[in-house]
Amino acid sequence: MTEPATSGQPFPRAFLRVAGASVAQHQLGMAIALECQRVICMARGTSPELIALQHDAEDAGLQFAIATGAGQLAGLVTAGDELVVISEGLFADPAQAVALLEGRAPVVLVQPVEGALAAGFERIDINRATAGLMRVSGAMVERLHELPVDVDAVSALTRIALQSGTAMREVPAVARSGSGWRMVRSEAEAYALEDEWMRARFAQDGVRTPGRTIARFAVLSFGSSLLHAGNASNVVSAAVLVALFIAAGMGWFGFVWCAFALLAVAWLLVEASRLLRAAERQALGQACPAIPRADALVWLVDVAFAALILLDIERFPAEPLVAWLCTPAILLLLLVLLPRVAEGRIAGLFGDRALLGLLLAFASGFGQVLPVVRLLSVGVVVAALVLPRRRDG
């Protein structure tokens, strides 16, 4: 972490930011995915960014050290160690890196030289260039003692590994396409990569629904600014709670149709927070928890839907309390169940709470919430019976 981002800028290019996290933090996520136990950063000294990276590494359970030169690096690595070497500025998909470094044998990842030099990778021979990533034996690091103290440790280790007969493995073209394998050298390159990476990362999987499409568009439009500001998903999750609180107040004072519309907005915010949190987790190699925060927020939105439906339907004098409570409960439980048993566009539309909120807002404006809820319940049951069954795995 020694090369300046561009001339005149004081910070190394390792701390250029992509989707709210520095390139070094994305590399830390790669190290975590590769099950490394220690992280050694080549740097001229400490800095606030490097200290923050150390905290991230230690929070993930990794040991952290700083080496100011090749000689100090050699002193931190023993012959029995395995060393994964990540070049400064490399931005690569952790899943691809894990697949290419699979196994314990030393390997140097390479790529065709055409285009690689202009992209910032180092030439190996007439036909190949490095890919910025390799696994070598710790014994090779001892040979750094024989070289000048100011030698480029990564470049020198690459040459040592190749001279020792370490196998080369070419990074497939599909892995190098798009934002999957890039060298970031300037702020302009970081911005360009960020836009491409976010579009690929937030690509809609599965069935497209209006609500999820709107949430994705909002994240692509404003997610970059939120991620750079920090705590993006926390901010959006807090906005969800605020929207739910306001919706509850509107329902209490009789503006139920407006409260339903606000629940539609709250669900859009939940889906946006889901995308943003996924980006934050990937940057640091964090696994998805058993119950993601977005799922818990969806449950709160569903509870709010049930409460507003109860506020908008009259309980008849002789009607049992359980029957009154079951009207919204059955609908919401069926909406949760349908995506688990059926698939397809119609199942996805039933699960779009933004559409549900707008439909109930319209029904509430005309005093027809109860028949709409009953029709929706019947519709979900019919859909579960006639739609294609979800295939496990």
For 137-184, write each residue's pLDDT tens digit: 888 888 888 877 778 888 888 999 998 889 999 999 888 888 889 998
2 falls within a domain: no
| Amino acid identity at 386 | V
The CATH number of residue 27's host domain is 3.90.550.10
Residue 5 has pLDDT above 60, yes or no: no
190 falls within a domain: no
- Give Dmax (Cα) for the chain: 93
7 falls within a domain: no
Domain total of the chain: 2
The domain boundary, picked from 185, 219, 239, lies at 185
Whether residue 206 sits in one domain with residue 258: yes
Whether residue 351 sits in one domain with residue 236: yes
pLDDT score for 1: 66
Looking at residues 62-71, what average pLDDT do you find? 87
194 falls within a domain: no
pLDDT score for 393: 46
Whether residue 242 sits in one domain with residue 128: no
Whether residue 280 sits in one domain with residue 173: no
Reported as a pLDDT band with limits 50, 70 and 90, residue 4 is: low
Whether residue 242 sits in one domain with residue 144: no
**Residues 309/373, Cβ–Cβ less than 8 Å:** yes
185 vs 251 pLDDT, higher one: 251
The domain boundary, picked from 140, 156, 185, lies at 185
Whether residue 222 sits in one domain with residue 159: no
154 falls within a domain: yes
**Cα 273 to Cα 266: distance, rounded to the nearest angstrom:** 10
Whether residue 165 sits in one domain with residue 231: no
**Cα 359 to Cα 380: distance, rounded to the nearest angstrom:** 15
29 falls within a domain: yes
Helix (H, G, I), strand (E, B) or coil at 74: helix
Residue 332 has pLDDT above 60, yes or no: yes
The percentage of the chain sitting over the pLDDT mark of 70, rounded to a whole number, equals: 95
Q: What are the residue ranges of helices labelled H in the chain?
A: 23-33, 48-59, 70-76, 94-100, 153-163, 173-176, 187-201, 210-229, 232-252, 256-283, 293-312, 321-341, 345-350, 353-365, 369-386
298 falls within a domain: yes
Whether residue 254 sits in one domain with residue 288: yes
| Amino acid identity at 198 | M
Closest CA to 297 of 257, 237, 217: 237
Looking at residues 32-59, what average pLDDT do you find? 88
5 falls within a domain: no
For 81-134, write each residue's pLDDT tens digit: 899 999 988 999 888 899 998 877 899 999 999 888 888 899 998 889 999 999
The domain boundary, picked from 185, 216, 240, lies at 185
Return mean pLDDT, the chain. Answer: 87
Whether residue 180 sits in one domain with residue 293: no
pLDDT score for 133: 93
| DSSP secondary structure, 155-203, as one string | HHHHHHHHHTT-EEEEPPHHHHSTTSEEE--SHHHHHHHHHHHHHHHTP
The domain of 380 spans: 202-386
**Cα 249 to Cα 246: distance, rounded to the nearest angstrom:** 5
Residue 199 has pLDDT above 70, yes or no: yes
212-248 b/e (C-beta count within 10 Å ≥ 16 → b): bebbbebbeeebbebbeeeebbeebbebbeebbeebb
Whether residue 157 sits in one domain with residue 45: yes
**Residues 377/334, Cβ–Cβ less than 8 Å:** yes
Whether residue 215 sits in one domain with residue 160: no
DSSP category for residue 98: H
Whether residue 180 sits in one domain with residue 233: no
